[in-house]
């Protein structure tokens, strides 16, 4: 319970005093300090203070207004209660849906830098633009001095943390505007401001605000738009994230190129493979990871046949190009296999080699081998 202008102290009562207690106390003190009966040098001054305090506290409405303003202002900044001006947004417009946001801004120079914090009254849409602009300004204009760069890192952390905070700033803004709107008979706007102020109020302040809300007479229901603090925090990080990506991309690309060059130098048998769908890749599987079987056309033990009609592929996979279309029971010679033995390399009659899966092969001759076949000397 605060007493910014010491009205309760002057009347020697506490915040819970009833109106009757205040009137009785004022009567006694006024009689004591009245200049006609009290000839002390400060009697007139004290009597005037009593009159001013009593004029405010003798009425429930002005007393409630004073109690609320005492919670958000100290003696040096206390406004004229009868003529409160509405605190407007950054563009100079009245808007009950505003907040206070503090943004720290860094501007580097050649031999120095500026480090300042700006307090802004913003709507949510204005806040989205302002936090992004501040971040962009910091990261593009705050690099030109080594200390400014370090301060910039601190500023981005502070700005992210400030979003959704500033409890005292926002309480002052919203309570002040709630009272100011009411004085101008704009109770819809007053209700909007005061309902938002409840988010920043402690238990005692909440009681005062709710009492003030009960005195309002809005002409329509009020819907309070949501402030997405998380969105504003993310927008603070967009610029440094993009800059980090721009810096890291060439480095990552260079590292990847160096790794590829090492691979190219280490494997001299890599080859370019083109798939049916037009995709291309550098492939070393076909050559380097196939276990080869020496070709001996006189060896009948390596003769197999196809168990179905199927394509014979350029490599061990269905994505490779088709070398030939194999027929069921067509005889082939095994010349190699993949490490897992799921695909076998086979020689066909023309002497070309391709791949078929193990499930499509069976040991032994199938159809008779045609004359001139390259797979065996026993061709008819």
- Residue 379 confidence (pLDDT): 54
Tell me the angle at which helices 203-214 and 167-183 cross, rounded to the nearest 10 degrees: 20
pLDDT score recorded for residue 253: 67
Predicted confidence at residue 266, as pLDDT, reads 40
Instruction: Spell out, as residue ranges, where the chain has pLDDT lower than 70.
Output: 108-111, 142-146, 148, 252-288, 378-380
Around Cβ 298, how many Cβ atoms within 10 Å? Answer: 7
* Residue 324 within any structural domain of the chain: yes
- Domain end (from 36, 58, 80): 58
pLDDT score of 264: 42
The CATH number linked to 286 is 2.30.30.40
Residue 211 has a pLDDT of 95
pLDDT tens digit sequence for 58-98: 999 999 999 999 999 999 999 999 999 999 999 999 999 99
User: 3-class secondary structure for the chain?
Assistant: CCCCCCHHHHHCCCCCCCHHHHHHHHHHHHHHHCCCCCCCCCHHHHHHHHHHHHHHHCCHHHHHHHHHHHHHCCCCCCCCCCCCCCCCCCCCCCCCCEEEEEEEEEEECCCCEEEEEEEEEEEHHHHHHHHHHHHHHHHHHCCCCHHHHHHHHHHHHHHHHHCCCCHHHHHHHHHHHHHHHHHCCCHHHHHHHHHHHHHHCCHHHHHHHHHHHHCCCCCCCCCCCCCCHHHHHHHHHHHHHHHHHHHHHHHHHHHHHHHHHHHHHHCCCCEEEEECCCCEEEECHHHHCCEECCCCCCCHHHEEEECCCEEEECCCCCCECEEEEECCCCEEEEEEECCCCCEEEEECCCCCEEEEEHHHEEECCCCCCCCCCCCCCCCC
Residue 34 domain-assigned (yes or no): yes
Domain boundary residue, one of 21, 43, 58:
58
Residue that finishes a domain, picked among 16, 31, 58: 58
Q: Tell me whether residue 222 is in a domain.
A: no
Residue 54's domain comprises: 7-58
Look at residue 285 in the predicted model and tell me its pLDDT: 42
Please indicate, yes or no, if residue 19 is contained in any of the structural domains.
yes
* Residue 376 included in any domain: yes
Q: Give how many domains the chain has, as a whole number.
A: 2
Decide if 315 is inside a domain.
Answer: yes
The DSSP bridge pattern shows strands 303-306 and 361-363 to be antiparallel
Q: Is residue 85 part of a domain?
A: no
Examine residue 1 and state whether it is found in any structural domain, yes or no: no
Q: Is the pTM of this model over 0.85?
A: no
CATH code of residue 30:
1.10.287.110
């Amino acid at each position: 319970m605060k007493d910014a202008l010491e009205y309760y102290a002057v009347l020697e009562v506490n915040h819970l005093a009833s109106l009757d207690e205040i009137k009785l106390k004022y009567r006694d003190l006024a009689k004591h300090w009245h200049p006609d009966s009290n000839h002390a040098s400060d009697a007139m001054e004290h009597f005037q203070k009593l009159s001013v305090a009593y004029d405010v506290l003798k009425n429930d409405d002005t007393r409630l207004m004073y109690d609320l303003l005492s919670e958000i202002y100290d003696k040096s900044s206390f406004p004229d209660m009868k003529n409160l001006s509405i605190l407007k947004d950054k563009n100079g417009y009245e808007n009950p849906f505003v907040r206070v946001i503090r943004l720290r801004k860094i501007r580097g120079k050649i031999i120095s830098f500026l480090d300042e914090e700006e307090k802004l009254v913003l709507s949510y849409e204005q806040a989205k633009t302002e936090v992004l602009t501040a971040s962009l300004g910091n990261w593009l204009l705050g690099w030109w001095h080594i200390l400014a760069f370090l301060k910039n890192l601190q500023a981005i952390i502070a700005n992210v943390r400030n979003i959704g905070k500033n409890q005292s700033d926002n309480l002052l803004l919203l309570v002040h505007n709630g009272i100011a709107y009411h004085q101008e008979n704009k109770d819809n706007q007053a209700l909007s401001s005061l309902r938002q102020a409840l988010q920043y109020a402690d238990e005692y302040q909440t009681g005062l605000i709710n009492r003030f809300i009960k005195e309002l007479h809005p002409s329509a229901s009020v819907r309070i738009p949501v402030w997405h603090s998380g969105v504003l925090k993310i927008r603070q990080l967009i610029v440094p994230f993009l800059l980090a990506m721009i810096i890291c991309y060439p480095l990552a690309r260079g590292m990847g190129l160096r790794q590829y060059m090492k691979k190219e130098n280490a494997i001299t048998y890599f080859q370019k493979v083109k798939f049916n769908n037009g995709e291309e890749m550098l492939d070393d599987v076909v050559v380097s990871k196939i276990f080869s079987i020496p070709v001996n056309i006189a060896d009948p033990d390596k003769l197999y046949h196809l168990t179905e009609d199927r394509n014979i592929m350029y490599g061990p996979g269905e994505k490779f190009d088709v070398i030939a279309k194999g027929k069921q029971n067509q005889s082939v010679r095994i010349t190699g296999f993949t490490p897992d033995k799921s695909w076998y390399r086979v020689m066909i009659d023309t002497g070309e080699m391709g791949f078929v899966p193990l499930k499509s092969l069976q040991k032994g001759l199938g159809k008779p081998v045609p004359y001139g076949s390259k797979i065996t000397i026993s061709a008819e």
